[in-house]
Structures are given as structure tokens and as C-alpha cells.
Structure 1
Amino acid sequence: MSDPFKIAVVGVGLVGRRHVDAIQSLQNVSLTAVVDQTPEGETYAAKIGAPYFSDLSQMLQTVSPNGVILATPTPLHIEQGLTCVAYGCPLLVEKPIAVDAASALKLVHAAEVSDVPLLVGHHRRHNPLIAAAKQAIDANKIGEIRGIQGSCWFYKPDGYFDVAPWRKKKGAGPISVNLVHDIDLMRYLAGEIIQVHAYAQPSLRGFDNEDVAAAVMTFQNGAIATISVSDSIVSPWSWELTSGEYPIYPTTQESSYLIGGSHGSISIPDLRLWSHEEGQRDWWTPISATSLMTAASDPLVNQIAHFVKVARKEASPLVSGWEGLKTLQVIEAIQKSCTSGVSVTIAEPTSMQSEIALAPKISDISQKILQK
């Protein structure tokens, strides 16, 4: 048996603590350190008996972990990610990978040229429900995808915003905070999105951000998707309330995604596969559903187990830095379309040559960081 894989968690808010719980549930994986700049973080580290650091570089020098999970606020991801790359330490960055795609490109490019594994925490891809849907789609069970409908509707109570006033600010609305998950799954299941046209309405509660938005998206394969998101709609139709993924949310028997193809359709996450009898594709013949079966497991635990394999060069990343960047590009396009009122075309990240040229050389990053 190999030595335990040592993981340090940077940022131990709600998400960071879920990562700690997931690490502690895995065999041959250990929590080697907690990095957090808050008194609450230091208290939490003492409570669970983990070495505590307030500085990322100091931790990397002292502990030399096999991997780092960045569960810090998004504006910190790039600087902290580049620090991990400079030390040659594999990293898993919580979603979204960065505040904007141009910044994300700097980290993705640096990790790539330095051959440092970089994963992005779109953990829903690691859910067995999504794995089963992906397998059915790839096996041509529904034929060529033509249309997608997605709902991301729920009601966040006033207290959710009162305890963290930044959630009321521009840029912290449900497009960036919630829809990013759903967009990533649509890309994963249906392919690349090349154009969007979106709309948003101001918050009814008087916040600086939107509380409802909708987008029409065109895929490279010709499919068209419609999706809407709101944190001010009382509804059973969201991933949180339909997947049973996280116990703090009550579960319903509804679905949040419908994916339609030329030979059938699938609803997710209930995994009902709809089709006519063989050779009888017409709306006058009966249509029936078959429920796909899959075992349940915690996607966060699955994600960390996968992270270990990728860091050890035993597997390719399911959600690479490039994947996180492409999903962020779609979110940016939706936000831009909401503001401008026009359709936005999404460029290939590899075509962003000017941004790549401006990306810092990893040797310069290393020298700057290691001289601190």
C-alpha cells in the first residue's frame, strides 16, 4: 500500500469543511494542514486537531503536501493557485476557477507549462447520477441531441443574504453563484456552447444584482438549450432539491434538466429514459420510460479520490483547468448578453493569444514567491 496522500485545505468556510469531512472519510488520504486567515479557521483547525497556518507559502514550505484544495473566495484563486504551481503542488480549485476568464487563463496556462495537475471543483460531474446520464447519452440512447431545458429555481431566505451582505452586491447574483454548476453540466453532457442570448431582471428585494435570468444557448453540435435561474422563486425544480446530493436540502421527486434527442429523451436527475418502440418514432405511437439504475455515493468524496489519482498521474482530470475556464466563459457571455441585450459568441480559449502572451512566466512566479 502506498503512503497516505497528504492534502491541505485552504479556506475552511462551509465548502472547505465539507472537503475536510470528505478527506476524513477516505482511506489512505490524510488532512495534513488547514490554511485560513480568520480566528474561526484557527479555532476549527484546533478542534479537529489539524496543523494550522495563516499563510499558504509558509504551509507549502513547512508541510510539503501532496495536494492542495483551494476553497477560498473566488478573487483569491489565481494568486493562491499560482503559488501552488510555483511549488509544484497539484491543486483542486473550487468553482468558479476565477473572477474572469482572462485571469483563469493565466493559472491554466501556468499549470500546463509547469506540468502541475489542476482540477476545478465542479463536483456534480462526480455524481453517479450524472455519470449514468453521460453513459446513456454517449451510448446514443437518445440519438442526436437537439434540445435541452434546464431549471434552477429556489427561494433563498432573507437571512441568507443578511449574514453575508456581499451576496447582495453586483456580480454575486444567481448567475455567477448558482447557474455556473448547471452550465458546466450542460457542457459536459451536450458539448460546447458557442453562442448565448440572455436576459435578467433586477432583484425584487432591492439588491444590486439580478434575482432571475434566462438564456438561450446554441451548441457546436446544433442543439439549442433554454435555461433559467432564480433565487426568488418558490419551486421544486432545481438540482439541489431533486438530486438528494446534499442532505441539508429537502428532496422532491421532480427533475431539473430535460435533454431531448432524435431517438429519445432523458430527464435528470430521475434518469427516466423516454422512447417509442423500435422503429416507431412518431407522436401517434405510445411512448414509455425506462428508469436507469445507479448506486448512490457522495460526489465530493468521489472528487477527492479522483484528485488523488490525477495528482499521482494515474488518471486524466474529469474537470481540468481548461474545463473550468470554458464554463466560466459561458457565464461571462450570459452576463454580457444580459447587459448589452445582444447575442454573444464564445471564443475558443486557445484562441486568446493576447491573454496567453500576458500570462506570467512560471519561472518569474517561482522566483517572486520563493524570495518572499
Structure 2
Amino acid sequence: MLDIGVVGAGIRGRMFTRALGQLQDVRVVGVVDPTPAGAALAAEFGAAAYEGHEDLLSEHDLTGVVVATPDFAHRDAAVAVARAGIGLLVEKPLATDVGQAREIEAAVDAGGGPAMVAFENRWNPRFVAVRQQISEGAVGDVLFQCAHLNDTRFVPERMLSWAARTTPAWFLMPHTVDLALWLSGRTPRSVFATGLRRELARDGIDTYDGVHALVTFDDGTTLALQSHWVLPESYPSVFDFRYELVGSRAAVRVDGSDEGVHFAGPSLQWLHHTTVERDGRLVGVAAEIARDFACLLRGEPVSVPTVAEGVAVTAVVAAVHESVTSGRVVSL
């Protein structure tokens, strides 16, 4: 039996708890969150509730821990888990600071336990299909990539209580940066970015409305990134996700927000089905991430995003912010 702890009882923590808890050889034994949501989630799964990760680690012989706290708060729990040699799953991004990301990486190396980062597009069937075409040579050399990942105002204004402590670049770009690195296999060398801070700040949420960035790779190819979160809530999806790739032999375009199910009720909605509930069980991407984490903990061969890859993504997004602030190209 794999005994699992979960740190963070928000949207992602709850999702991972459900997905792991439905596996036959997995038992969620503890949930860490100082809010009432933590106690409620723990009670739902018959687990112990804790306010800090220290008690979770001291009271259980854990096989693995999921860290799904707010983005800026991953380090302390992740380092403690990794140093103890316990298997680790960290929600993206690994950290919002390069130094903290490297601390987590060093702790994983020192502890010797398995670790992965939940860059969920690695499990998205659309992008798995794209990567297969690239690996088979159908695309040729990757020349240009462009990724738009945006949110409606619902996310910073109502979904995230900590929106003022992050940015749309930290919240959204880890998805697209990891996707681009995974698909192209290239090493980023420089970043230039600009950002706008106006509408949300005017409404009392002191963060950027949006950020644009251009990443140049070691072979001269480029990745253009756009992430903002000021779309009107009338948009039929809470997020707008479009990815384009041009290769020397073919081009690819993926619409990641319109999944083909249009629901016309009082308003038009695009229903998402990469993770859905069927007969009380989660199926899709979330379930696949949980299954692969369990495989990793058992020592079975499985392809998952590594902590080193998480450090690389954090370095790119940190450079995006440095460029926005300085107005200069930032070398990596």
C-alpha cells in the first residue's frame, strides 16, 4: 500500500487527492491545510488533518507527498519531503524563484527519492499526438512556436485569493514554456518581455494584466508567449489556449480551449473533458497524472516531467519577469 500525504487543499490539491484516492493500492493518510477546506477534504477521505507539513511527516511513514499549495509557497514542504527521501509530486510551477527551485532540486538529489512536476499538458492527448508527429519526423525541424494561454477575469478576481501575490506569467506560462521545451527539445538562451499593469491594479488587485514574451533558443528558433487574465467572463471558456508550431516539413495548430463540446444554455459554454467525472471517479488527465505518480513511487518505468525540467521552466519565467522590469533582453 502506498501511503500518500497532500499539502494544500485548494482546487489542485483536491483534484490530486481524489485521483490518487481512487487507485486500489493508494491510501491518502493526511491532508495539510490551515483552512477549513483542509479538514473537510481530510474527513472526506478518512485522512488526518494537519495545519503544517511537519506533523504530517513526523506522524506517518509516507511513500509520497503531493505539494499543491499556492505557487509561491512550494519550497518549504517540497524541500522537507525531498530531504526525507519521500516521493514528491509538485504542482506547477516547481517554484516562483530560481533559487528556491534549485533548493528543491538539491533536496531531491540529497534525499534520493523519486520526484516529478505536474505539467499537465504532458498528458493532454492533443499534445501527446503532436509530440508523436515530431518524434516520427513528420514535422521536421521545429522553427517557430507560439502559445497563447489566457484567463477570464474570473480567475484573478474570484478564483484566486492570492492573485496579487502572483502574475499571469507565473500562473499560466509554466504550462506553455514546459510544453514548448518538451516538444522542441531545445535549450532557451534569451528572453525579452513586456507587461501591462493597469486594469486589475485599478480594481485593487496589484498584479499584471498580461505579459508578452519572446524566447530565443540555442539554434535561433523562437517561442512567442502571451498570457493575460483580463478576458471578459462572457468568454465561453474560463481559459483561452491556442498553440501553433511551424516546422520545416509541416505546421501544427492546437485549440486547447475549444474541446468540441458547445453548450448553449443561458450563455454559450465550451465544456471541457480532459478531466471529467464518470460514475463518481475522475477519468482523463488528472487520473493519468495520479497513476503515473503511483508508478513512479513503485519504481516502475514511467515518463514524467523531472525536477530538473521544472527548474528550467522556472528559470525562463523568472527571466520573463526580469525582462519586463528591466526592459532588456535577459540571457539564460
Pairwise TM-score range, normalised by the shorter structure: 0.7 to 0.9
Question: Is 2:29–2:46's contact at 8 Å kept on the other side of the alignment?
Answer: no
1:321 aligns with 2:307: yes
TM-superposed deviation, 1:311: 2.1
In structure 2, the residue matched to 1:308 is 294
Alpha-carbon distance, 1:58 to partner: 2.4
Q: Secondary structure at the match of 1:329?
A: helix
Runs (5+) with no aligned partner, structure 2:
257-273, 277-282
Post-superposition CA distance 1:261-306 (Å, at most 9, x none): 1111111257xxxxxxxxxxxxxxxxxxxxxxx9x96222111211
Q: 1:124 to 1:147 in 2, by over 3 A?
A: same
| Cα contact 2:5–2:31 (8 A) shared by 1 | yes
The equivalent residue for 1:219 is 217
Q: Select the residue among 121, 124, 132 that pairs with 1:124.
A: 121
TM-score of the superposed pair, with normalisation by structure 2: 0.83
- 1:201 corresponds to 2:196: yes
- Matching of residues 117-266 of structure 1 within 5 Å: 117-157=114-154, 160-161=156-157, 164-167=160-163, 169=164, 172-190=166-184, 191-205=186-200, 206=202, 207-234=205-232, 241=237, 256-266=242-252
Q: Taking structure 1 as reference, are residues 126 and 55 closer, same or farther at Cα in structure 2, changes over 3 Å only?
A: same
Q: Structure 2: how far apart are the matches of 1:154 and 1:76?
A: 22
Report the Cα distance in structure 2 between the residues aligned to 1:198 and 1:68, rounded to whole angstroms.
35
1:17-53 alpha-carbon deviations (Å, 9 max, x no partner): 1111211332322222212222331133223322223
Change (3 A) 1:236 1:149: farther
The structural deviation recorded for 1:235 is 9.7
Relative to structure 1, the CA distance from residue 162 to residue 306 in structure 2 (aligned partners, 3 Å threshold; closer, same or farther) is closer
| Gap change, CA 1:79 and 1:71, over 3 Å in 2 | same
**Counterparts of 1:63 and 1:19 in 2: how far apart (Å)?**
19
Over aligned residue pairs, what C-alpha RMSD do you find?
Answer: 2.7
Question: Could you tell which deviates more after superposition, 71-80 or 10-19?
Answer: 71-80
State the structure with more CA Rg.
1
TM-score of the aligned structures, taking structure 1 as reference length: 0.75
Aligned partner of 2:131: which letter? K
Q: Name the structure where strand makes up a greater proportion of residues.
A: 2
Cα distance in 1 for residues equivalent to 2:76 and 2:21: 27
SS state at 1:256 partner: strand
* Gap runs ≥5 in structure 1: 242-248, 271-293, 347-372
Alignment of 1:1-372 (within 5 A): 4-157=1-154, 160-161=156-157, 164-167=160-163, 169=164, 172-190=166-184, 191-205=186-200, 206=202, 207-234=205-232, 241=237, 256-269=242-255, 298-315=284-301, 318-346=304-332
Aligned residues: 305
In 1, Cα distance between equivalents of 2:103 and 2:311: 10
SS of residue in 1 equivalent to 2:74:
helix
2:101 & 2:303 partners in 1: Cα distance?
Answer: 17
- 1:215 and 1:164, CA in 2 relative to 1: closer, same or farther beyond 3 A? closer
Partner of 2:267: none
- Contact 1:130–1:269 at 8 Å: present in 2 too? no
Q: Give the letter aligned to residue 230 of structure 2.
A: S
Identity of aligned residues (%): 26
